[in-house]
Structure 1
Amino acid sequence: MTEHVMEQPQTAVPVTQPDFSGAILGLQGDVLHGWAMDNTQQEHRPVVEIFIDGVSVALVRADQYEPSAPGGDQFHGFAVQLRQRWLDEGRLITAQIANQPFVLEGQLTLPVNPGEDSAGIASQVWHTGGLRMSGWCWDPKSPSRHVEVTVREGDQVISKVTCNEHNQALAYRASSEHGFSIDLPWELADGRLHVLDIVNDLGQSLAGSPIRLCCRPEGIAGLLQRLGAGHRAETLALMEQVAKEQALRLPNSAGWQHYPQWFEAFQRLDDQPPPDFEGKLGLLILSDGDSALEQISLKSFGNGHPGVYKIITSVPTDLLSAVTQLLEGGCDRILPMWAGDRLAPLALAHLSALLDDGSEWAYADCDRDGPQGERSLPWLKPVWDIDLFIGADIFSPGAIYSARILEQALRLLTADGAHRPLNWHDLAAGVALATENTNALVTHLPRVLYHRAFHAVASPEAAPPSPQRKQALAWMCQQLSSGATVSQVADYPSLLRAHWPLPKALPRVSLIVPTRDQYKLLRTCIEGLLNETDYPNLEIIVVDNQSSDPTTIAYLTELKTRGVKVLSHHYPFNYSTINNRAASVTTGELIGLVNNDIEVIDAGWLKEMVAQVLRTRVGAVGAKLLWPNRMVQHGGVVIGVNGLAAHAGNNLQQRDPGYLGFNQITRRQSAVTAACLLLRKSVFELVGGLDDIAFPVAFNDVDLCLRIQQQGMHIICTTFAQLIHAESASRGKDKTPEKQARARREQENFINRWSIHGFVDEYYHPCMSVDYISGPYGGLSLGLSSGAMKPRDSRKAITRQ
Structure 2
Amino acid sequence: MGPAPRRPVDGAPGMSPGTDLLTAAKPPRSTLVDFLRRKARAWAPALSYRILRQAELETDSDGRLVSTGVDPQIFIQLTEREQVPRWLRIRFRVQQVSTPLNPMLYAFASGEGNRWVEYRLPSIENGVLDEIVLVPPGMNMLRLDPTNGPAVFRLTDLVLHEVGRSELLVEAWSTDRRAVLRALGYRMLRRRNRSRKFLMRAFDARRSGRGYEEWLSLFDRAGSAPFLPVRQAADAAVAKTGPLISIVMPVFNPPERFLREAIRSVLAQTHENWELVLSDDASTERSVARVMAWAAHLDPRIRVIRSETQGGISTATNLAMVAVKGDYVAFMDHDDLLPPGSLAAVAAEIAAHPQVRLIYSDEDKVDDLGNRYDPFFKPEFDPDILLGQNMLNHLCVIHRQTLVEAGPLRSTLDGSQDHDLLLRVMRRIDRSAVRHIPEILYHWRRSRKPRSFSQQQQHQVVRARMAAVREHLAATIPGAKADLAMAGYVRIIWPLPDPAPRVSIIIPTRDRVALLRPCVESILAKTAYPDFEVIIVDNASTDPETLSFLASVSADDRVRVLRHPGPFNFSEINNIAARQATGELLCFVNNDIEVTEGDWLREMASHGVRPDVGAVGAKLLYPDGHIQHAGVVVGLGGVAGHAFKSLVRNHPGYFGRLCVTHEVGAVTAACMLTKASSFWQVGGFDAENLAVAFNDVDYCLKLREAGQRIIMTPFACLIHAESASRGPDTEGPALLRFQSEIAYMKDRWADTLPADPFYSPNLSLVGHGYTLAFPPRRGVRP
Instruction: State the TM-score, normalized to the length of structure 1.
Output: 0.68
Distance in 2 (CA, whole Å) between partners of 1:137 and 1:461 is 40
Aligned to 1:729: 724
Aligned residue pairs total 610
Counterpart contact for 1:125–1:133, Cα < 8 Å: no
Whether the aligned pair in 1 keeps the contact of 2:108 and 2:139 (CA below 8 Å) is: no
Choose which of 477, 493, 499 in structure 2 pairs with 1:505.
Answer: 499
Shift of 1:551: 0.5
- Whole-angstrom distance in 2 between the partners of 1:176 and 1:644: 34
Tell me if the contact between 1:484 and 1:500 (Cα under 8 Å) persists in the aligned partners: yes
The structure that is helix-richer by fraction is: 2
What's 1:120 paired with? 81
Contact 2:512 2:546 in 1 (8 A): yes
Whether 2:361 is the aligned partner of 1:364: answer: yes
Paired AA for residue 480 in structure 1 = T
Q: Deviations over 1:691-717 (max 9, x none)?
A: 111111111101111111112111100
Shift of 1:635: 1.1
Distance change in 2, residues 1:362/1:195 (3 Å): closer
* Alignment-derived partner of residue 52 in structure 2: 79
Contact 2:89–2:131 (8 Å) recurs in 1: no
Structure-2 residue corresponding to 1:442: 434
Query: 1:461 & 1:651 partners in 2: Cα distance?
Result: 31
Q: Distance in 1 between matches of 2:142 and 2:391?
A: 32
The change in CA–CA distance for 1:120 and 1:437 in structure 2 (over 3 A counts) is same
Given the alignment of the two structures, is residue 569 of structure 1 paired with residue 564 of structure 2, yes or no?
A: yes
Inter-CA distance 763–463: structure 2 relative to 1 (3 Å threshold): farther
CA contact (8 A) 2:505 2:534 kept: yes
* In structure 2, distance between residues paired with 1:651 and 1:290: 42
Structure 1 counterpart SS, 2:211: helix
579, 583, 599: which is aligned to 1:584?
Answer: 579
For 1:385, the aligned partner's letter is D
- Secondary structure of the equivalent of 1:79? strand
Measured after TM superposition, the shift of residue 444 of structure 1 is 1.0
Task: Tell whether the 8 Å contact from 1:121 to 1:138 is kept in structure 2 after alignment.
Answer: no
Q: Contact (CA 8 Å) 1:522, 1:596: kept in 2 or not? A: yes
Q: 2:318 aligns with which of 313, 323, 330?
A: 323
Q: Match of 2:169?
A: none
Taking structure 2 as the reference length, the TM-score comes to 0.70
**Given that residues 250 and 316 in structure 2 are in contact (C-alpha distance below 8 angstroms), is that contact kept between their aligned partners in structure 1?**
no
Quick one: structure 1 residues 451 and 177, their matched pair in 2 at CA, closer, same or farther if it must change by over 3 Å? farther
Q: Residue 240 of structure 1 corresponds to which residue in structure 2? A: none
Which residue pairs with 1:402 in the alignment?
Answer: 399
Question: Contact 1:617–1:713 (CA<8 Å) still a contact in 2?
Answer: yes
Change (3 A) 1:541 1:393: same
When residues 195 and 328 of structure 1 are mapped into structure 2, their CA distance, relative to the original with a 3 A threshold, is: closer
**1:25 — aligned with what?**
none
Aligned to 2:477: 481
Query: SS of 2:346's equivalent?
Result: helix
- Residue matched to 1:548: 542
Residue 785 of structure 1 deviates from its aligned partner by 4.7
Q: Does 1:279 align with 2:252?
A: no
Aligned to 2:260: 295
3-state SS in 2 of match to 1:282: strand
Whether the 8 Å contact between 2:764 and 2:776 is mirrored in structure 1 is no
Shift of 1:477: 2.4
- Kindly tell me: are residues 257 and 373 of structure 1, through their superposed partners in 2, closer, same or farther at Cα, counting changes over 3 Å? farther
Partner of 1:205: none
Partner of 1:265: 218
Q: Is the 8 A contact 1:310 1:331 kept in 2?
A: no
- Paired position in structure 1 for 2:36: none
Is 1:524 the counterpart of 2:518 in the alignment?
A: yes
The C-alpha deviation readout for 1:233-271, integer Å capped at 9, x for no partner, is: xxxxxxxxxxxxxxxxxxxx9946610111111013422
**Matched position secondary structure for 1:342:** coil
| Alignment gaps of 5+ in structure 2 | 19-47, 56-77, 96-101, 119-128, 147-155, 166-205, 282-310
Residues in 2 aligned to 1:571 and 1:279: alpha-carbon distance in whole angstroms = 65
How far did 1:759 drift? 6.0
The CA distance in 2 between the partners of 1:297 and 1:259, in whole Å, is 22
The partner residue of 1:312 within 245, 266, 278 is 278
Q: CA deviation at 1:786?
A: 4.5
Q: Given the superposition, is the C-alpha separation of residues 311 and 606 from structure 1 closer, same or farther in structure 2, using an over 3 Å criterion?
A: same
- 1:425 maps to which residue? 416
Change (3 A) 1:311 1:437: closer
Alignment correspondent of 1:666: 661
Provide the secondary structure at the position in 2 that maps to 1:543. Answer: strand
Aligned counterpart for 1:714 among listed residues 709, 716, 721: 709
Q: Is the 8 A contact 1:513 1:594 kept in 2?
A: yes
Q: Which residue of 2 aligns with 1:647?
A: 642
| 2:134 corresponding residue in structure 1 | 163
What amino acid is the match of 1:386? P
Describe the SS at the equivalent of 2:416.
Answer: helix
| Cα distance between partner residues in 2 of 1:649 and 1:177 | 26
Alignment check: 8 A CA contact 1:670 1:705 kept: yes
Separation in structure 1 between the aligned mates of residue 138 and residue 756 of structure 2, nearest angstrom: 32
Q: Which amino acid is the alignment partner of residue 392 of structure 1?
A: Q
For each residue in 1:748-775, what CA deviation from the matched residue of structure 2 results, as whole angstroms up to 9, or x when unmatched? 110011125676211110011111xx22
Question: In the alignment, is the contact (CA less than 8 A) between 1:136 and 1:163 conserved in 2?
Answer: no
Q: Hey, what's the Cα distance between the residues in 2 that align with 1:656 and 1:468?
A: 25
CA contact (8 A) 2:627 2:649 kept: yes
Instruction: State the shift of 1:384 in Å.
Output: 0.8
**CA drift at 1:592:** 0.3
1:529-559 deviation line (CA, Å, top 9, x unaligned): 1001111211110000001110110000011
Q: In structure 2, the residue corresponding to 1:326 is in which secondary structure?
A: helix
The equivalent position to 2:700 in structure 1, one of 684, 705, 725, is 705
**What SS does the corresponding residue of 1:299 show, helix, strand or coil?**
helix
* 1:557 and 2:589 aligned: no
Q: 1:749 to 1:332 in 2, by over 3 A?
A: same
Residue 423 of structure 1 and its aligned partner are, at CA, apart by 3.8
SS in 2 for 1:271: helix
2:384 match: 387
Q: 1:197 to 1:522 in 2, by over 3 A?
A: closer
Partner of 2:306: none
From the superposition, tell whether residues 134 and 362 of structure 1 become closer, same or farther in structure 2 (CA, over 3 Å).
closer
Matched-pair contact (CA < 8 Å) for 1:626–1:632: yes
